[in-house]
């Protein structure tokens, strides 16, 4: 599970840094990626792993638990992300 959380964090930060580097310098893109993504990614990964453990009794990824995990991972960071976007006056649409 720790490996899944670390991989999720690294992948998200790298992808966001790459995308943002087209709009700003690399150093600033990395700082923005860390600031916006780190807390929400940890929350998402923890929620998904907790659901996996609760429903399967351990770290046993099965096909029927994946949609439930994805839903929990999507819903969990929404309040934090909404707060951050609202605080800085940005919108996603």
Q: What is the pLDDT of residue 40?
A: 86
Q: What is the pLDDT of residue 54?
A: 93
- Averaged pLDDT in 10-residue chunks for the chain of 93 residues: 83 89 90 83 90 88 91 91 75 57
Q: What is the pLDDT of residue 91?
A: 61
In the chain, what are the domain boundaries?
Answer: 2-88
Neighbours of 5 (CB within 10 A): 16
Q: What is the pLDDT of residue 3?
A: 84
Q: What is the pLDDT of residue 2?
A: 81
Q: 12: closest CA among 30, 28, 25? A: 30
Q: What is the pLDDT of residue 38?
A: 83
Q: What is the pLDDT of residue 36?
A: 75
Sign of CA dihedral 7, 13, 39, 79: negative
Q: How far is CA 44 from CA 21, 22, 27, 57, 72, in A?
A: 24, 26, 25, 19, 7
């Amino acid at each position: 599970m720790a490996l899944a959380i670390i991989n999720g964090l690294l992948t998200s930060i790298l992808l966001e840094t790459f995308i943002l580097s087209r709009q700003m310098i690399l150093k600033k893109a990395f700082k923005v990626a860390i600031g916006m993504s780190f807390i929400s990614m940890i929350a998402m990964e923890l929620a998904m792993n907790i659901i996996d453990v609760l429903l399967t009794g351990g770290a046993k990824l099965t096909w029927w638990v994946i949609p439930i995990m994805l839903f929990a991972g999507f819903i969990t960071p929404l309040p934090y992300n909404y707060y951050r976007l609202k605080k800085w006056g940005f919108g996603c649409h």
